[in-house]
Amino acid sequence: MKKSRHSIPAMIFHWGFLIIFIYGILKQVEDINQLSDISLLKFEIIFATLMLILLIIRYFYMSRTQVTSLPEDTSMFQKRAAKVVHLSLYINLAVIPITGLVIGILYWLGLKSGIFIEFTVGLHELSISTMYWLIAIHVSAAIFHRFKNDGVWSSMVPLLPEKKTSD
């Protein structure tokens, strides 16, 4: 069983998005009325736009250059679950800045209340909550593979490498 390792750019994208996500959560807008500060509104729009651009670049880079680290003998259920979780992570990582941009633009246009902005804020918050669950599943799966010692952990995590096994 050959163990694949993700490229350095893939690892930078992976861990970089963790940093971007944590930063976004820490500096999040607590109350939509904070967007009346035009400098904050501009910052939020720029941040969301850059996050979305980086996500698109990451998606195309990863889908065109990287292959799964799952061993060939991995069950079909586990392979499909991994794909669903990864795709869901990408979707939520896209929905968060997209809804953030829509909220910012609506607010800038003076639509500070109403069903459309409330729906968009709700979708934004739901996507963030869903991200927490997806991250928990993703981390749990990584830890599972760490204990399984099948090379998946070491393919993306530069710390605590798995024990070498003879192939």
Tell me how far apart the alpha carbons of residues 40 and 33 are, in angstroms, rounded to a whole number: 11
Domain assignment present for residue 165? The answer is no
Domain assignment present for residue 92? The answer is yes
Q: Domain range for residue 40?
A: 8-67+75-153
What is this structure's pTM? 0.86
Domain assignment present for residue 142? The answer is yes
Domain assignment present for residue 164? The answer is no
Tell me how far apart the alpha carbons of residues 14 and 84 are, in angstroms, rounded to a whole number: 17
Task: Find, among 19, 2, 9, 1, the residue nearest to 156 by Cα.
Answer: 9
Domain assignment present for residue 13? The answer is yes
pLDDT per residue as tens digits for the range 44-86: 999 999 999 999 999 999 999 988 888 888 899 999 999 999 9
Domain assignment present for residue 62? The answer is yes
Evaluate if residue 15 carries a pLDDT over 60: yes
Domain assignment present for residue 111? The answer is yes
Give the pLDDT of residue 66: 86
Give the total number of structural domains in the chain.
1
Domain assignment present for residue 147? The answer is yes
